[in-house]
A and B are shown apart, each in its own frame.
Chain A
């Protein structure tokens, strides 16, 4: 489908709650509004899930997880086939999904295409793992035979954010289903539409009823109900650190459910004086501005060596000024709106603080256009570590460029934060690259690139950016419960 035939008005087919492969209204009868952030206009209403709907979904998921159920007695390889089938259907409907994602989230259509391709990759990656999840036999002391079974944990609550709706769904469903769990997924209230469409594809693919249930709704109601539920065995959450803390507390208050958290970041990107400045400027630009800055691992503290600082600032400003904002369906658009009014206000507020605290605004800093939630790509130079824009997660198109002298200094400053999600270094020198990679406290370190994360590579946070890992083989562990079986035998031989 060429750019001329991009569907700007995809038909919204699914707006109800998905439980047991059926669509139902909310128990309360309430609905909530969804919006197009490029225009601010209303799109449609969606059934609003709350505690009672979560209870229904947990019941269905628990039933689907019962010993002897179709899901529990299915060959692991057949689970893989179902997951691959789901990937096939996402591929089949990729254009529709791209349209819907762009409509509800505001990201440029081109970006939605990349998102869908990434999601399909992730789903296929995990399909391949299903029948390769190994326990061990163990040389225990004594006349025993001992082995471990890697079992699914059970009913998993998955709370996903609005910045990469389908990608986040794939990161969560992939490992959870590959390991044989049943799931209750709550998409963000801003962006429920593509998740609900995916639910229809899961049903079409042939997943048994109750294996995946999707409850659209709000965090403090549906999300909290999941985090507090005594019959949910594990919660996986991606979102802000503030809410992640509440979820860990809710887990402890209720049933000490297992937890993985993917939270915020203020990731450092270091540019050394031996870097190719033009390449470094482009890497740093994309590291910040991709997805309108709405990326947990965005490179939001760009540390530039003092000897190339002025040139770097000048070129970064030129690059940001050239960034194309506009209709996200337009081929040429690089940059869409922020997701909603609340985010827009928060970002503008932090921009003001940058000005007040004495950073120099090189470009941008204002609203773009008169409809939707667009913000001009903004570049601050002469940023100091103590400024709010250097410490707090902005989650918007605002770049901070700071100056540094030495490796020891920049490692210390890079680590001087409660966050620890991503990091990057641009240099040609092997010692610098390896020392930095070793020393920075971050779950991902990118060298001469940024945001290069694929289905194969584990992703997650040090410190208060999160706990646990998604993607890769390590992503599977978070969804498994180890059972040790030790059997007495008459006489042990090695």
Chain B
């Protein structure tokens, strides 16, 4: 498998029916190591024709009477647990692969795989606990619901948590009995393809999981337009999420769940533990190179503690160790690619031009790869671009507020609604804030604390539908009501 820093890439083809295929077109695309800017390897480039093949396989695997459809629900659970075991067995290798393909630190990549394992195990436990109901309907009738798999699901996965996003989506979709076509992001296909090999090794029947690497505008669009895909689950930008919902309406009104961007408020009250809040706000913003949909990217600090908070945040950011992601001491790796790198630097320039004060950072780090200095802006006001647009990079916005009502309103003054956080020791403040802010996840005296047990998703234009928790299963099921006439009803 190679050593940790140079994992040997084993799978670069398209995965359909448990087999590895070249692209129909013969085209390949490169995948780059963002720490160096160098190509790692070429990968088969899937396009519409490959998606068609994959959908055909998934449809076949979903047919009534197929191995997958006639399998006990508990058996599905066993297969998922086996998949989790294999992820555990190859954890370090997968983390290595993730690090060279995505740029996150090796430590974080391992954490991602561990989270993925837990997620698969969580959903493995649900398979035989998906309940319909019997219903006390009026009349001489017996009525019940069957909770059926939706069918063929297209799963479009982003590059910021490549393996973890695959497990987030495979968990509930497979637990509920669907068949899937996964499209990993073009920047980061390698760990998804390796996961394909483990799906096969675990014993999933052919066609249940298919993986088509490729680009959004070709393979991704083919999935969102496909007349034979029953549901699409997309994680990515709001801009593309809108295109996907339109494509669904244009084609076959397929069901859609979306996990999109955010500009999440993180609020620190004067009664909070200041040092803890500084640290959590820092992690909340800078974790994963800032490439996190629920990053706390608007930090509101109560005016009494503002200056001290700014000072401590600057110190913390300046201490951050940015460098080789395989190095034990490294806290922040490169951004994922040149496009993101450029976008972030542009937004930093906007911040400077619009009058925010740059406390530290503000430019590129080094000459190779896509490294950005941890950057802190203070005196940010709500109307600035850096306060409104998702940066998706290591850039922190520090803003001042006075009262709870004011900060609830400012927190809500956005089209996004993915997450929020509040630091306070006052119970009323915490309860009123968590009640009042329109965000799918709200953290109190912590940030980014998540798990496969708790639903995650967006209000408003941050998304629709929920991943994780029992709620995720519902997104992958179709309710069938069966009502039978009986001679006489008794309660």
Taking CB atoms and an 8 Å cut-off, the chain A residues in 358-403 that contact chain B are: none
Q: Are B484 and A448 in contact (CB under 8 A)?
A: yes
Q: Are A442 and B464 in contact (CB under 8 A)?
A: no
**Measured CA separation A64–B249 after assembly (Å):** 31
**Measured CA separation A251–B255 after assembly (Å):** 13
The verdict on A473 contacting chain B, using a C-beta distance below 8 Å, is yes
Q: Which residue of B lies closest to A422 (CB)?
A: B481
Question: Which residue in B253, B456, B460, B481 is a CB contact (below 8 Å) of A263?
Answer: B253
**Measured CA separation A142–B457 after assembly (Å):** 20
What residues on A are CB-neighbors of B451 within 8 Å? 140-142, 146
Q: Are B453 and A460 in contact (CB under 8 A)?
A: no
Question: Which residue in A149, A445, A463 is a CB contact (below 8 Å) of B482?
Answer: A445
Question: Which residue in B241, B436, B455, B460 is a CB contact (below 8 Å) of A233?
Answer: B460
What residues on A are CB-neighbors of B258 within 8 Å? 256
The verdict on A482 contacting chain B, using a C-beta distance below 8 Å, is yes
Q: A447-B482, A481-B459, A487-B445 are in contact. Are A458 and B249 (CB under 8 A)?
A: no
Q: Are A457 and B143 in contact (CB under 8 A)?
A: yes
Q: Are B453 and A486 in contact (CB under 8 A)?
A: no
The verdict on B440 contacting chain A, using a C-beta distance below 8 Å, is yes
Q: Are B474 and A245 in contact (CB under 8 A)?
A: no
The verdict on B222 contacting chain A, using a C-beta distance below 8 Å, is no
What residues on A are CB-neighbors of B256 within 8 Å? 248, 259
- Indicate with 1 or 0, residue by residue over B232-253, a CB within 8 angstroms of chain A CB atoms: 0000001001111111111011
CB distance from B122 to the nearest CB of A (A): 10
**Measured CA separation A444–B64 after assembly (Å):** 18
Highest count of chain B CB atoms <10 Å: which of A141, A148, A252, A263: A252
Q: Which residue of A lies closest to B142 (CB)?
A: A447
Report the stretch among A206-214, A266-274, A341-349, A464-472 that lies at the interface: A464-472
Q: Are B118 and A148 in contact (CB under 8 A)?
A: no
**Measured CA separation A336–B267 after assembly (Å):** 63
Q: Are A484 and B249 in contact (CB under 8 A)?
A: no
Q: A141-B118, A482-B440 are in contact. Are A458 and B482 (CB under 8 A)?
A: no
Q: Which residue of B lies closest to A471 (CB)?
A: B481
What residues on B are CB-neighbors of A458 within 8 Å? 145, 479, 481
The verdict on B321 contacting chain A, using a C-beta distance below 8 Å, is no
The verdict on B442 contacting chain A, using a C-beta distance below 8 Å, is yes
What residues on A are CB-neighbors of B250 within 8 Å? 245, 249
What residues on A are CB-neighbors of B241 within 8 Å? 252, 256
The verdict on A286 contacting chain B, using a C-beta distance below 8 Å, is no
Q: Are B453 and A138 in contact (CB under 8 A)?
A: yes
The verdict on B146 contacting chain A, using a C-beta distance below 8 Å, is yes
The verdict on A453 contacting chain B, using a C-beta distance below 8 Å, is yes
What residues on A are CB-neighbors of B415 within 8 Å? 255
Q: Which residue of A lies closest to B248 (CB)?
A: A248
Taking CB atoms and an 8 Å cut-off, the chain A residues in 43-90 that contact chain B are: 67
The verdict on A241 contacting chain B, using a C-beta distance below 8 Å, is yes
How many B residues are at the interface, by size bracket?
35 or more
The verdict on A308 contacting chain B, using a C-beta distance below 8 Å, is no
- Indicate with 1 or 0, residue by residue over A420-459, a CB within 8 angstroms of chain B CB atoms: 0000000000000100011100111111110011111111
Taking CB atoms and an 8 Å cut-off, the chain B residues in 419-436 that contact chain A are: 430, 434-436
The verdict on A127 contacting chain B, using a C-beta distance below 8 Å, is no
Q: Are A454 and B253 in contact (CB under 8 A)?
A: no
The verdict on A488 contacting chain B, using a C-beta distance below 8 Å, is yes
CB distance from B237 to the nearest CB of A (A): 11
**Measured CA separation A247–B137 after assembly (Å):** 32
Question: Which residue in A149, A252, A448 is a CB contact (below 8 Å) of B245?
Answer: A252
CB distance from A99 to the nearest CB of B (A): 25
The verdict on B444 contacting chain A, using a C-beta distance below 8 Å, is yes
Q: Are A252 and B242 in contact (CB under 8 A)?
A: yes
Q: A241-B253, A486-B454 are in contact. Are A454 and B481 (CB under 8 A)?
A: no
Q: Are B249 and A249 in contact (CB under 8 A)?
A: yes
**Measured CA separation A253–B245 after assembly (Å):** 8
Q: A252-B244, A481-B459 are in contact. Are A488 and B445 (CB under 8 A)?
A: yes
Q: A67-B408, A256-B464 are in contact. Are A248 and B480 (CB under 8 A)?
A: no
Question: Which residue in A141, A464, A486 is a CB contact (below 8 Å) of B253?
Answer: A464
What residues on A are CB-neighbors of B260 within 8 Å? 256
Q: Are A488 and B145 in contact (CB under 8 A)?
A: no
Highest count of chain A CB atoms <10 Å: which of B256, B408, B439, B479: B479
Question: Which residue in A146, A244, A263, A487 is a CB contact (below 8 Å) of B453?
Answer: A146
Q: Are B137 and A457 in contact (CB under 8 A)?
A: yes
Q: Are A444 and B408 in contact (CB under 8 A)?
A: no
Q: Are A484 and B244 in contact (CB under 8 A)?
A: no
CB distance from A262 to the nearest CB of B (A): 11
**Measured CA separation A455–B135 after assembly (Å):** 10
**Measured CA separation A13–B211 after assembly (Å):** 61
The verdict on B139 contacting chain A, using a C-beta distance below 8 Å, is yes
Question: Which residue in B249, B255, B446, B485 is a CB contact (below 8 Å) of A486?
Answer: B446
CB distance from B390 to the nearest CB of A (A): 15
Q: Are B479 and A482 in contact (CB under 8 A)?
A: no
CB distance from A253 to the nearest CB of B (A): 6
Highest count of chain A CB atoms <10 Å: which of B248, B456, B470: B248
Q: Which residue of B lies closest to A251 (CB)?
A: B245
Q: Are B483 and A457 in contact (CB under 8 A)?
A: yes
**Measured CA separation A250–B253 after assembly (Å):** 12
Q: Are B482 and A437 in contact (CB under 8 A)?
A: yes
Q: Which residue of A lies closest to B423 (CB)?
A: A488
The verdict on A333 contacting chain B, using a C-beta distance below 8 Å, is no
Q: Are A467 and B480 in contact (CB under 8 A)?
A: no
Highest count of chain A CB atoms <10 Å: which of B230, B463, B478: B478
What residues on B are CB-neighbors of A469 within 8 Å? 479
The verdict on B353 contacting chain A, using a C-beta distance below 8 Å, is no
The verdict on B14 contacting chain A, using a C-beta distance below 8 Å, is no
- Indicate with 1 or 0, residue by residue over B96-137, a CB within 8 angstroms of chain A CB atoms: 000000000000000000000010000000000000010111
Q: Are A261 and B253 in contact (CB under 8 A)?
A: yes
What residues on A are CB-neighbors of B138 within 8 Å? 121, 454-456
**Measured CA separation A418–B227 after assembly (Å):** 10
The verdict on A483 contacting chain B, using a C-beta distance below 8 Å, is yes
Q: A141-B118, A146-B453, A482-B457 are in contact. Are A452 and B249 (CB under 8 A)?
A: no
What residues on B are CB-neighbors of A448 within 8 Å? 484-485
What residues on A are CB-neighbors of B135 within 8 Å? 456-457, 472
**Measured CA separation A423–B484 after assembly (Å):** 12
Q: Are B483 and A452 in contact (CB under 8 A)?
A: yes
The verdict on B466 contacting chain A, using a C-beta distance below 8 Å, is yes
Q: Are A486 and B443 in contact (CB under 8 A)?
A: yes
What residues on A are CB-neighbors of B145 within 8 Å? 457-458, 472, 474
The verdict on A462 contacting chain B, using a C-beta distance below 8 Å, is yes
The verdict on B141 contacting chain A, using a C-beta distance below 8 Å, is yes
8 contacts between A and B (CB under 8 A): A67-B435, A138-B453, A256-B260, A256-B461, A438-B146, A443-B478, A455-B138, A485-B444
A138-B454, A248-B248, A444-B481 known; 9 other A-B pairs, CB under 8 Å? Answer: A250-B249, A256-B238, A439-B64, A445-B482, A447-B484, A460-B479, A469-B479, A484-B442, A486-B449
Interface positions of B (Cβ within 8 A of A)? 64, 118, 133, 135-139, 141, 143, 145-146, 230, 238, 241-250, 252-253, 255-256, 258, 260, 408, 415, 430, 434-436, 439-446, 449-451, 453-457, 459-461, 463-464, 466, 469-471, 474, 478-485
The 7 A-B residue pairs whose C-beta atoms are closest, nearest first, are A248-B249, A252-B245, A252-B246, A249-B249, A447-B484, A448-B485, A488-B446
